[in-house]
A and B are shown apart, each in its own frame.
Chain A
Amino acid sequence: MAQEKVSAASRVTFSVSNRTVDWDESFDNLLEFAEAQGLNPPYSCRSGICNSCMRDIVGEVTYVEEPLREPGEGLALICCSIPKGDVAIDL
C-alpha cells in the first residue's frame, strides 16, 4: 500500500545532545532512528503500549501504530511514531 510521504522534508532535533538530523524514511519509527544516531532512549514494549519511550517533543508526529493511551500535549511515544514536519525531542 502506498503511504503518503508526509515526512519527506522533516528534520529531527535531539535537543539534549544538540544535534539535528534529516529524517530518513527507511526507519520505521523515531526510536529506531534515535538509536541509529547512537542514542539510547529507554524503551520496553516497542509497540505503543507501555509508555516507557515517552519523550517531551516540540512539533508533531504521526502514529504508525495507535498508542494504547494517548500521550498528552507535548509528549510522544517515539517507538510507534514518525515526524510530521520538523520535530525536537528531549534526547
Chain B
Amino acid sequence: MYLRNSWYVAGWSRDIGAALRPATILGEKIVLYRSGGGSVVALEDACPHRKLPLSKGTLKDDHIVCGYHGLTFDGTGGCVAAPTQGRIPTAAKVRSYPAAERYGFVFLWMGDPALVDETLIVDIPNYDNPTWGRTAGGDMTIACNYLYVVDNLLDPSHVAWVHLTSFAGAKTDDTPLHIDLAANGVTVWRWMMDTAPPDYYARLVKFSGHADRLQHYECVLPSVAINKSIYSPAGTGGADKPLNERSYVNVSYNFITPIDETSSHYYWFQHRNTDPDDDAISQTMNAGARMAFEEDKDVLEAVQVGMTTKATPHLDLALDAGALRFRKLLSSRIAAEQAPG
C-alpha cells in the first residue's frame, strides 16, 4: 500500500541523461530520460500496443521509438508516429508522470497529475547556505518493504547494536525517547547529556571534551527521513536551550522509494553546518554513511525474511512507538486517498 499523491525520488539528477533509464516505483514500471531542453521525462515503461518496455526502444530527437513496431512517443506520452499504420491510433497514449528536480534528485509525482504540487517536496533548510557542507550522497536497493527502512530511521535505539563502529556511543542504549506527532510526520528524539562523542563525530565537532548530543529522528510523508544530530559543548545542549555557536549539526536526509512491496530504493545525503568546501570530510562522511547503511541493509533484509516467514508472533517494544505511530498516520492518509468521492 502506498501514498500516491506524493513525490518520490526516482534517481539522482546526475544519473538521468539522454538515455532511456528504466525504474520501478510503487510497483509501476517507468522509463526516464532527459530531453534536449533539459527537462526530465518520465513515462510508463510500456508501449500501448503489446506492452514491450519502451526502455528497450531507442531515443531519437527527444522521442521514444518502440523497439517492436516503431510507435513513437513524445515527452508527454503522445504518439507522434505509427509507421505501420496509415493514421495514428487515437488510443496510442502513454501515461506520463510529473517530474521535478530538487536537491540533486529527480522526484516523480506518483498520483493524480491534476493534484501535482511542488510545495509538497520536503523543505531542506540551508541547502543553499554557503557555510554548510554536504556529501555527494549515495543510494542502494534493500530487499525489504520500505516501511522497515522507515522503522529503522525512526529508531534511535538500534545504533547501539547495529552501528557499533559509527553512531553508537554512551547512553544510546538506555536514554528514554520522546515522540512528537505532527500532521505530516513523526519525530523521535532525545538529548544525551555530557557524553563522549563516538569516533565518527569526534573528528568533526569543533570543540574538545564531552558533548550534549541530540538524536532527532523525523519521518515525513510519504517516506522521507530526516536524522539530525547535534553535538554541543557539554552543559550547553538541551531541548530548552538555543543552539550554541560551537554546536556541530549534521542532518542525514533519507529518501526511501518503494520499488514494490518487498524491495526499496534508498537515497541519502548528509548536510552539515561546517566545512563547506572540505572534500576530504565530505568523502569520509559519505563513506561512513554507506558503511552504516550497509549494516542496516544486512539487518533489514533479514527482518523482511523473518517477518514474512515467522512461525510465532512478533513483539512490539516501546522503541517502536514512533515507527508505529508513523505507520498509523501513513495508513490513515492512504485510506483517505483511496476513499471514494
- Whether chain B is bound by chain A comes out as yes
* Interface of A toward B, CB cutoff 8 Å: 44-50, 52, 68-69
Q: Besides A45-B318, A49-B316, A52-B315, 15 other CB < 8 A contacts?
A: A44-B316, A44-B317, A45-B321, A47-B318, A47-B321, A48-B321, A49-B318, A49-B320, A49-B324, A50-B316, A50-B317, A68-B321, A68-B325, A68-B328, A69-B328
Closest chain B CB from A14 CB (angstroms): 25
Closest to A51 in B: B316
Closest to B181 in A: A66
Residues of B within 8 A of A69 (CB): 328
Q: How far is the CA of A48 from the CA of B315 in the complex (A)?
A: 13
Q: Nearest 9 A-B pairs (CB), nearest first?
A: A50-B316, A45-B318, A47-B318, A49-B321, A49-B324, A47-B321, A44-B315, A45-B316, A68-B324
Q: How far is the CA of A44 from the CA of B314 in the complex (A)?
A: 11
Q: How far is the CA of A47 from the CA of B324 in the complex (A)?
A: 12
Q: List 20 A-B contacts (CB under 8 A).
A: A44-B315, A44-B316, A45-B316, A45-B317, A45-B318, A45-B321, A46-B318, A47-B318, A47-B321, A48-B321, A49-B318, A49-B321, A49-B324, A50-B317, A50-B320, A52-B315, A52-B316, A68-B324, A68-B325, A69-B328
Residues of A within 8 A of B325 (CB): 49, 68
Residues of A within 8 A of B316 (CB): 44-45, 49-50, 52
Secondary structure of the A side of the interface?
loop
Q: How far is the CA of A49 from the CA of B326 in the complex (A)?
A: 12
* Interface of B toward A, CB cutoff 8 Å: 315-318, 320-321, 324-325, 328
Contacts A45-B320, A45-B321; A50 near B328 (Cβ below 8 A):
no
Residues of A within 8 A of B317 (CB): 44-45, 50
Closest chain B CB from A36 CB (angstroms): 20
Residues of A within 8 A of B320 (CB): 45, 49-50
Residues of B within 8 A of A68 (CB): 321, 324-325, 328
Q: How far is the CA of A55 from the CA of B321 in the complex (A)?
A: 20
Closest chain B CB from A90 CB (angstroms): 21
Q: How far is the CA of A69 from the CA of B325 in the complex (A)?
A: 10
Residues of B within 8 A of A52 (CB): 315-316
Q: How far is the CA of A25 from the CA of B328 in the complex (A)?
A: 31
Q: How far is the CA of A45 from the CA of B317 in the complex (A)?
A: 4
Residues of A within 8 A of B324 (CB): 49, 68
Closest chain A CB from B156 CB (angstroms): 15
Closest to B322 in A: A49
Residues of B within 8 A of A50 (CB): 315-317, 320
Closest to B324 in A: A49
Residues of A within 8 A of B328 (CB): 68-69
Q: How far is the CA of A48 from the CA of B318 in the complex (A)?
A: 8
Closest to B317 in A: A45
Q: How far is the CA of A44 from the CA of B319 in the complex (A)?
A: 11
Q: How far is the CA of A52 from the CA of B315 in the complex (A)?
A: 9
Residues of A within 8 A of B318 (CB): 45-47, 49
Residues of A within 8 A of B315 (CB): 44, 50, 52
Q: How far is the CA of A55 from the CA of B131 in the complex (A)?
A: 56
Q: How far is the CA of A48 from the CA of B320 in the complex (A)?
A: 11
